[in-house]
A and B are shown apart, each in its own frame.
Chain A
């Protein structure tokens, strides 16, 4: 589904990502761990094509096509969807407006809004006076309406209470059961792993991918030893 080859990214002249190689298969979910500032969000934003996040080396192939020179909306139309960690607030633009742009099935919009407890938020300016959890639910709401094939999830569970994690996790898991859907998920807390069957995990430290392995084992090890230990771990250099 997505292949990242030897990708390096500089932001304002400063190298952030170095020689990233990554392969997310069709129908599979991959989890990305890493300490703050290691470059995880930069990687997702580069895949999405945000301005200022341009590769100075390497390439990205999605569904067999090179996407490096595509605009954000072209990438979205080809099936990539992103859930923001900190979405902006936009005055006067209603959540409902975006929903209708993404999906012309009014029944589906209402149904999904109801399941994510967002019915009353539809008529509000997007992300204005939304709590942390409401923002995350609204983000999930939008990419599911988009019917994205590759979900890029930037800390989907941060700031969300346990009850809502379970609702979001359940809906996400159901969505990803479809063999055509893939996901690349940044997580700090690991809670999302309780709901999603992710086959692979990887760790990013200082802009480099250190290893690829079983996400649950990795997360248990990170919880026990922290990321410092990662640098010495037996999987080192396998990534």
Chain B
């Protein structure tokens, strides 16, 4: 699949949807790309030596090492995972490699009523650094679709993985991602999650396990909730080594849907520092936000905190902007836009701009 690019693999009617999940179809600003539609891998290409990308099935057949990783994160936490997956991506960044431009992977739902079940494995070898952006979206025809996405991340010693997931589904699609990141000594795992478009139901509680000293994790989420939808979205960090730290930050705006914003920090070793911050704005009477922050430890030598704040837009803030000449509606949308601040995401400027543009489009339509 050398000549044809990612852009040629997407049907013209689906272009908008795929782009709205953060994909650069020209591949110009990406190091490697992967596309799976329903259960079929349509495209993969790496433009950088040191970055391997392919379907998981192919990787398991080609390289016995990959078998050692498949399912390992779930076994470590004694958790079951569905075995009936079809496809998913495999990405490996070689030891010491710094990947400047992000790698992109798109999981696309096309056929009506299709149940897409994928199992992804991402390995960042020792000292390697990489940005990965995964976009999940659905075609106009994918009524009543379902997506189950299992992801296992292995960030080896001193590695850095910055993972951004953009969900851009449709109002009749249900989604269940299950992911675990194992983060070794001196390594960093950052997860940025963005969900702006309507979706019937999302249930997810991604977990990072910090296994070595000075390992770090950070989860940042921006969630927009539309009427008649449920988003049960959490982030969990388990600290299994000393001198580890983590941060969980989430912002949720309900335009009428139900959001359950969970967060769980569990310290199993000492000298842990962690903070959890959850903020929600409820803009409609039908909207509902339930913030459930949890801190847990048996040890004394930990420093964990949380803050949660939920409410409607402060009238004083609206009037302040009105006193600068903005109409009430303008003021309200500027405040919501500011609340859904892309700066809480730890991503490169390029991606920030892309997500900012998506936010502008979505909010303009929704408000």
Contacts and interface: CB of A to CB of B under 8 A. Distances in A.
Interface in A105-160: 125, 142, 146
B319 A91 contact: no
Contacts of B321: 90, 93, 98
Contact of B323 (A72, A91, A94): A72
Contacts of A76: 322-325
B335 interface: yes
Interface stretch (B51-59, B184-192, B207-215, B339-347): B339-347
B324 A71 contact: no
Interface in A75-116: 76-77, 81-82, 84, 87-88, 90-94, 97-98, 101-102
8 contacts: A71-B322, A73-B326, A84-B320, A88-B320, A91-B341, A92-B337, A98-B321, A102-B324
B128 to A, nearest CB: 32
A91 B338 CA distance: 6
A42 B327 CA distance: 22
A93 B339 CA distance: 8
A81 to B, nearest CB: 8
Interface string A47-91: 010110000000000000000000111001100011010011011
B328 A51 contact: no
B323 to A, nearest CB: 5
B334 interface: yes
Interface stretch (B25-33, B60-68, B310-318): B310-318
Which of A76, A93, A142 neighbours the largest number of chain B CB atoms within 10 Å of its CB? A93
Interface in B171-197: none
B320 A90 contact: yes
A73 B334 contact: no
Contacts of B315: 51
Contacts of A101: 324-326
Given A88-B314, A90-B317, A97 B323 contact: no
A211 to B, nearest CB: 29
B319 A98 contact: no
Given A51-B319, A73-B327, A98-B324, 12 more contacts: A48-B323, A71-B327, A73-B326, A76-B325, A81-B323, A84-B320, A88-B314, A90-B338, A91-B339, A92-B337, A102-B324, A146-B324
Interface in B103-162: none
B355 to A, nearest CB: 14
Nearest to B331: A73
A67 to B, nearest CB: 14
B328 A73 contact: yes
Contacts of A102: 324-325
Contact of A87 (B320, B326, B327, B337): B320
Contact of B339 (A51, A81, A92, A146): A92
Contacts of A50: 319, 323
B331 to A, nearest CB: 8
A71 B328 contact: yes
Given A77-B325, A142-B324, A92 B341 contact: yes
Nearest to A97: B334
Nearest to B316: A88
A88 B321 CA distance: 10
Nearest to A86: B316
Nearest to A94: B338
B322 A73 contact: yes
Which of A72, A77, A98, A101 neighbours the largest number of chain B CB atoms within 10 Å of its CB? A72
Given A88-B317, A88-B320, A125 B325 contact: no
B292 to A, nearest CB: 22
Contacts of B335: 90, 92-93
Contacts of A94: 338
Which of B322, B325, B334, B343 neighbours the largest number of chain A CB atoms within 10 Å of its CB? B325
Contacts of B334: 93, 97
A121 to B, nearest CB: 16
Interface in A16-38: none
B338 A72 contact: no
Contacts of B343: 92
A76 B328 CA distance: 13
A146 B322 CA distance: 12
Interface in B68-107: none
Which of A73, A77, A87 neighbours the largest number of chain B CB atoms within 10 Å of its CB? A73
Contacts of B317: 88, 90
A97 B343 CA distance: 15
Contacts of B322: 71-73, 76
Contacts of A87: 320
Interface in B266-321: 314-317, 319-321
Nearest to A52: B315
Nearest to A84: B320
Contacts of A146: 324-325
Contacts of A92: 335, 337-341, 343
A157 B343 CA distance: 33
Which of B317, B320, B321, B343 neighbours the largest number of chain A CB atoms within 10 Å of its CB? B320
Contacts of A71: 322, 327-328
Given A51-B319, A88-B317, A90-B317, A73 B338 contact: no
B134 to A, nearest CB: 25
A82 B320 CA distance: 10
A84 B321 CA distance: 12
Contacts of B324: 76, 98, 101-102, 142, 146
